[in-house]
């Protein structure tokens, strides 16, 4: 028997497009005097959220996933009461606190101590609650030495650490957490994620967790909601949700018929005609998780003559067209052969995919007997990468600050140490 | 009362809530926040200044000095036979109280968009804490007024603070109603029509000159009497000065009207503010 903590029914939120200005003053007056303008459908309305309904049980940790524009932030805003819904209702049992931002209301001239109280109170803590947690907050933030210094003198790292520390010690039955809140240097980020885990697993607490990162959603949540285009597409166990999300995000690989592309050079003896990406099980995917084993699949059309010594190369470009890495089959002494008019399917498994969140262009080049046969100048397509569990530890690292991850084997050389 | 535990929600969120429904209980739960906001307003004012909290009284002193020179020494506006400093000061500190509370509350939505977009708390806390911090300022300035009054009294200037001083809390309450009420109305409208915030500084200055602060009502020419008659602040300021200095007039009926009008404005302000609280984040 589980108790319902949050009940959302038929929730919708519409925004009006265009400017709110002098025209709306006229409209307002017309509305005031009862002109029946409201009867005609307003084509300037867009629905950021519509007909969303779900129930969340007490103690669940719910991951909310969806692409940008899917309505995640709108849902969070309504839940945290910073904006009102247009339709529907939400019923909540228990004290709710939302962490959409850390350090809200921090005043640069006030000391760390004063800001802890101010920020805590803004987020709904009572004075006694803050007092009770004060030492833990200071301890967690690691800025105890500077607690009576105005926060404008803090380094940006100290500032966000203090801000997160306050947020992390909110005592409420329902917590809404936005994952971008994991801040600071790598150690502190780990601490943040750890704290979020602790928060979400603590007894009887309900957590709503928003993230782009399937790895952390999987790690923190047991249930999930998948939003798409302002509607609730799926609600279920976290495995179902992350699966559905990954499968659904197929939109980004270009499916222009490669065979008909004109922007290419080379003899054309062997041409690339198709490109897609699979997971190791053989499902076609369009969103890649960092750290997963990815299969890049290419279809090559051979010309009327038999071709030998086919060397296939691929590379990845960052958004500025910088080359991120090249791999030719010949580097690994692999060459292919094709019968006349044969359609050749080449698959290359890239284990532990190293690139972090972002969209990357995939380039290809085919050589036959070391002569260029086909080179698509505009690239073969794009891949969309989301952060995954690259290190196999659930840690994400500084995924936004670099594009490539690598692993190391760590040792202490006992001989040299003495 | 439904006793079914399933229906025992602690919070419900609906699209429409009546603007006449005030959540005073919730407001009370956040009282700690009010005090912290007041502190947040006051403390940084004198951090890293040489004079520190002295700045709270420097401002009215300097203003009074400027007025004494311009309106007293140059324009020679009479001050009911009192030294200019003494005559101007009560009006100026009361006006400072009104104006500061009014300005703070009228900027509520525009100045705090970044906070309002992220966290919920009863928005009314901000105008109230603006009023309270203005009131703290006022109290400090009141001490200054009393010191100066004592100084003049010892040096033999004749004025008569009377029993009417007991009226002062009521007068302050009235000023609070006006500053909050007007401020909340303006803040609600600025969420949609930002023109208002441009007009504000000018408007408040205009109102100041329409209020008998640097002149006694007695010298207003007949053709302009209606201004002070229709300005509900006039009798409050007159009465305030009267209770401290015993000059000017105390108009009981007009004070009563002012009181009722102030109450009405405050109520209207609450309603507008309540409505704006719901929609502001989408329109600002």
CB pairs under 8 A between A and B: 108
The residue whose two tokens read 């798409």 is A228
Q: B113 is written with which tokens? A: 């968009």
pLDDT attached to residue B207: 93
Least confident interval from A14-28, A158-172, B111-125, B199-213: A14-28
CA-based diameter of chain A, in Å? Answer: 89
Specify the residue for token string 């080379």.
A266
- Cα–Cα distance between B44 and A89 in angstroms, integer? 41
Mean of the pLDDT values across residues B261-279? 91
According to the model, what pLDDT value does residue A257 have?
Answer: 67
Interval A240-287: pLDDT, tens: 888 788 777 654 444 446 777 777 888 889 999 888 888 888 888 878
Cα angle A34, A38, A43; round to 5 = 150
Domain boundaries, chain A: 59-79+97-248, 258-386
- Closest Cα in chain B to A149: B47
Q: Do A126 and B32 touch (CB under 8 A)?
A: yes
**Do A59-79+97-248 and A258-386 fold alike per CATH?**
no
d(C-alpha A219, C-alpha B246), whole Å = 75
What residues have CB less than 8 Å from A409, skipping those under 6 apart? Answer: none
User: CA-to-CA distance for A196 and A184, rounded, in angstroms?
Assistant: 15
Q: Is the ipTM of this complex over 0.85?
A: no
User: Which fold, A59-79+97-248?
Assistant: Rossmann fold (3.40.50)
Sequential DSSP letters for A7-74 = EEEEEEEEEE-S--SHHHHHHHHHHHTT-GGGGS--TTEEEEEEEEEEEEETT-EEEEE--TTSSHHH
Question: Can you list the alpha helix ranges (DSSP code H) found in A89-155?
Answer: 112-122, 127-141
- Please list every residue in chain A whose beta carbon sits closer than 8 Å to the beta carbon of residue B275: none
- Closest by Cβ to A83, choosing from B33, B119, B282: B282
| pLDDT mean over B154-163 | 83
Q: Which residues contact B183 (CB under 8 A, 6 or more apart)?
A: B101, B102, B103, B104, B105, B106, B108, B127, B130, B269
Q: CA B284 from chain center: how many Å? A: 24
Contact between A353 and A385 (Cβ < 8 Å)? yes
Instruction: Quote the pLDDT of residue B106.
Output: 92
Distance from CA of A225 to the nearest CA of B (A): 20
What is the reported pLDDT for A254?
Answer: 42
Kindly determine whether residue B36 and residue A117, on different chains, have CB atoms separated by under 8 Å: yes
Local confidence band at B26 (pLDDT 50, 70, 90 cut-offs):
confident
Do A356 and A182 meet the contact criterion of CB atoms below 8 Å apart? Answer: no
CB A171 within 8 A of CB A123: no
CA distances to A305, A330, B131 from B231, rounded to whole Å, are: 99, 91, 21
Digit-coded pLDDT (tens) for B246-259 = 888 788 899 999 99
Give the model confidence (pLDDT) of A186-219 as tens digits.
677 777 777 777 777 776 788 898 877 677 788 7
Compute φ and ψ for B118, nearest 5 degrees: -115, -35
The chain B residue lying nearest A5, using CA atoms, is B9
- Cα A126 to chain centroid, rounded: 33
> In this structure, what token pair is assigned to residue A276?
């897609």
Average pLDDT for B198-215: 89
pLDDT value at residue B165: 87
DSSP state of B69: I
A121/B15 touch (CB, cutoff 8 Å), yes or no = no
Tell me the pLDDT tens digit for each residue of A364-394: 999 999 899 999 888 888 888 888 888 888 7
pLDDT at A22: 47
**Beta-carbon neighbour count of residue A243 at 10 Å?**
17
Beta-carbon separation of B39 and A77 below 8 A: no
Are the beta carbons of A87 and B15 separated by less than 8 Å? yes
Question: Residue B47: its chain A contacts at CB < 8 A?
Answer: 109, 150
Determine which helix (DSSP H) or strand (DSSP E) holds A237, and give its type and residue range.
strand A231-237
Compute φ and ψ for B13, nearest 5 degrees: -120, 120
**Lowest mean per-residue pLDDT among A346-360, B38-52, B121-135, B140-154:** B38-52
Give the span between the Cα atoms of A219 and A203, in whole angstroms: 17
A135 against A202, higher pLDDT:
A135
The two tokens of residue A91 are: 């019923």
**What tokens does A142 get?**
């690691």
Counted residue by residue, chain A has a size of 418
Min mean pLDDT across A159-173, A252-266, A358-372, B188-202 is at A252-266
Query: How large is the average pLDDT for residues B11-40?
Result: 83
Token pair recorded at residue A356: 């972090």
Alpha carbon distance A298, A257 (integer Å): 13
Cα separation, A213 vs B139, whole angstroms: 54
Burial class for A130, CB neighbours closer than 10 Å (0-12, 13-18, 19+): buried
Place of tokens 């085919």: A366
Do A50 and A12 meet the contact criterion of CB atoms below 8 Å apart?
Answer: yes
Q: Give the model's pLDDT for residue B116.
A: 86
Measured between beta carbons, the chain B residues lying within 8 angstroms of A107 are 40, 44
Compare CB distances from A118 to B40, B118, B193 and report the shortest one's residue: B40
Residue predicted with more confidence, B182 or A157:
B182
* Chain B residues touching A152 at Cβ < 8 A: none
Q: How far apart are CA A55 and CA A5, in angstroms?
A: 8
What was the pLDDT predicted at B78? Answer: 85
Q: What is the pLDDT of residue A146?
A: 93
**CB B48 to CB A117 under 8 A?**
no
**Residues of B in Cβ contact (< 8 Å) with A55:** none
Three-state DSSP string of A191-228:
HHHHHHHHHHHCCCCEEEEECCCHHHHHHHCCEEEEEE
Q: What is the pTM of this model?
A: 0.71
Coil/strand/helix, residue A143: coil
- Indicate yes or no: CB of A109 within 8 angstroms of CB of B278: no
Cβ neighbors of B173 (< 8 A, separation 6 or more) are none
Tokens of A260: 């008909």
Mean pLDDT of all residues belonging to chain A: 82
Task: Calculate the average pLDDT of chain B.
Answer: 87
CB atoms within 10 A of CB A266: 17
CA B105 to chain A, closest CA, distance in angstroms equals: 17
The arithmetic mean of pLDDT across residues A15-21, rounded, is 62
Choosing among 3.40.50.40, 2.70.50.60, 3.30.2350.10, 3.30.70.260, the CATH entry for A258-386 is: 2.70.50.60
Yes or no, beta carbons of B115 and A104 under 8 Å apart: yes
A-chain residues within 8 Å CB-CB of B119? 80, 82, 98, 100-101, 104-105, 122-124
Backbone angles phi, psi at A385, to 5 degrees: -115, 135
Helix, coil or strand: residue B242: helix
Task: Please give the Cα distance from B106 to B121 (Å, whole number).
Answer: 18
Quick: pLDDT tens for A301-349: 898 889 999 999 999 988 777 888 999 999 999 999 998 888 888 999 9
Record: contact A122-B43, CB cut-off 8 A: no
Residue A129, strand partner residues: none
pLDDT of residue A402: 80
**Separation between Cα atoms, residue B107 and residue A129, nearest integer Å:** 30
Predicted confidence (pLDDT) at residue B170 exceeds the cutoff of 90: yes
Contacts of residue A130, Cβ cutoff 8 Å, sequence gap at least 6: A116, A117, A120, A121, A137
- A191 burial type by CB count under 10 A (0-12 exposed, 13-18 middle, 19+ buried): buried
Other C-beta atoms lying within 10 Å of the C-beta of residue A262: 6
Count of other CB atoms within 10 angstroms of residue A204? 10
Q: Which residues of B touch A81 (CB under 8 A)?
A: 13, 120
């Amino acid at each position: 028997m589980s108790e319902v903590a949050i009940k959302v029914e038929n929730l919708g939120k519409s925004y009006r497009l265009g400017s709110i200005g002098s025209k709306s003053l006229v409209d307002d007056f017309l509305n005031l005097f009862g002109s029946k303008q409201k009867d005609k459908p307003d084509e300037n309305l867009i629905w950021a959220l519509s007909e969303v309904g779900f129930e969340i049980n007490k103690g669940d940790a719910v991951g909310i996933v969806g692409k940008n524009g899917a309505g995640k932030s709108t849902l969070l805003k309504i839940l945290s009461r910073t904006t009102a819904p247009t339709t529907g209702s939400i019923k909540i049992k228990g004290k709710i606190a939302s962490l959409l931002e850390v350090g809200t209301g921090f005043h640069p001239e006030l000391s760390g101590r004063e800001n802890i109280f101010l920020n805590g109170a803004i987020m709904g803590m009572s004075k006694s609650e803050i007092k009770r947690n004060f030492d833990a907050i200071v301890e967690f933030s690691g800025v105890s030495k500077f607690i009576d210094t105005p926060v404008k003198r803090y380094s940006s790292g100290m500032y966000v650490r203090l801000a997160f520390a306050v947020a992390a010690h909110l005592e409420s039955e329902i917590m809404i957490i936005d994952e971008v809140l994991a801040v600071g240097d790598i150690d502190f980020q780990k601490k943040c994620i750890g704290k979020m885990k602790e928060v979400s697993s603590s007894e009887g607490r309900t957590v709503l967790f928003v993230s782009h990162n399937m790895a952390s959603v999987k790690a923190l949540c047991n249930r999930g909601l998948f939003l798409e285009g302002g509607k609730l597409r799926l609600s279920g166990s976290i495995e179902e949700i992350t699966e559905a999300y990954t499968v659904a995000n197929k939109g980004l690989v270009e499916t222009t018929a490669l065979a008909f592309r004109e922007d290419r050079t080379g003899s054309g003896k062997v041409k690339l005609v198709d490109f897609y990406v699979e997971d190791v099980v053989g499902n076609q995917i369009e969103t890649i998780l960092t750290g997963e084993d990815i299969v890049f699949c290419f279809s090559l059309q051979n010309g009327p003559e038999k071709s030998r010594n086919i060397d296939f190369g691929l590379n990845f470009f960052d958004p500025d067209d910088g080359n991120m890495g090249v791999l030719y089959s010949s580097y690994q002494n692999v060459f292919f052969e094709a019968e006349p008019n044969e359609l050749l399917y080449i698959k290359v498994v890239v284990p532990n995919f190293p690139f972090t969140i972002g969209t990357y262009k995939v380039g290809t080049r085919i050589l036959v007997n070391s002569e260029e046969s086909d080179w698509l100048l505009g690239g073969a397509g794009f891949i969309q990468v989301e952060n995954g569990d690259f290190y196999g530890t659930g840690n994400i690292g500084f995924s936004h600050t670099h594009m490539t991850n690598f692993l190391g084997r760590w040792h202490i050389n006992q001989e040299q140490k003495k | 009362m439904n006793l079914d535990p399933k229906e025992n929600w602690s919070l419900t969120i609906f699209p429409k809530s009546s603007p006449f429904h005030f959540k005073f209980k919730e407001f009370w739960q956040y009282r700690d926040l009010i005090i912290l906001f007041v502190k947040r307003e006051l403390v940084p004012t004198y951090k890293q200044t040489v004079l520190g909290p002295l700045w709270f009284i420097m401002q009215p002193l300097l203003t009074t000095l400027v007025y004494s020179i311009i309106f007293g020494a140059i324009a020679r506006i009479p001050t009911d036979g009192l030294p200019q400093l003494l005559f101007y000061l009560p009006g100026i500190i009361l006006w400072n109280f009104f104006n500061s509370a009014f300005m703070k509350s009228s900027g509520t939505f525009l100045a705090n968009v970044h906070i309002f977009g992220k966290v919920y708390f009863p928005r009314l806390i901000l105008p109230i804490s603006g009023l309270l911090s203005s009131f703290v300022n006022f109290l400090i300035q009141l001490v200054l007024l009393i010191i100066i009054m004592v100084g003049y009294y010892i040096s033999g200037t004749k004025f008569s603070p009377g029993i009417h001083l007991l009226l002062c809390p009521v007068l302050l309450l009235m000023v609070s109603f006006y500053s909050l009420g007007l401020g909340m109305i303006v803040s609600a409208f600025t969420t949609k029509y930002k023109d208002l915030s441009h007009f504000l500084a000018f408007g408040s200055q205009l109102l100041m000159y329409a209020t008998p602060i640097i002149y006694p009502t007695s010298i207003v020419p007949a053709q302009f009497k209606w201004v002070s008659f229709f300005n509900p602040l006039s009798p409050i300021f007159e009465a305030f000065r009267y209770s401290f200095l015993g000059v000017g007039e105390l108009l009981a009926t007009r004070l009563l009207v002012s009181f009722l009008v102030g109450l009405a404005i405050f109520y209207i302000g609450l309603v507008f503010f309540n409505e704006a609280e719901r929609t502001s984040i989408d329109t600002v």
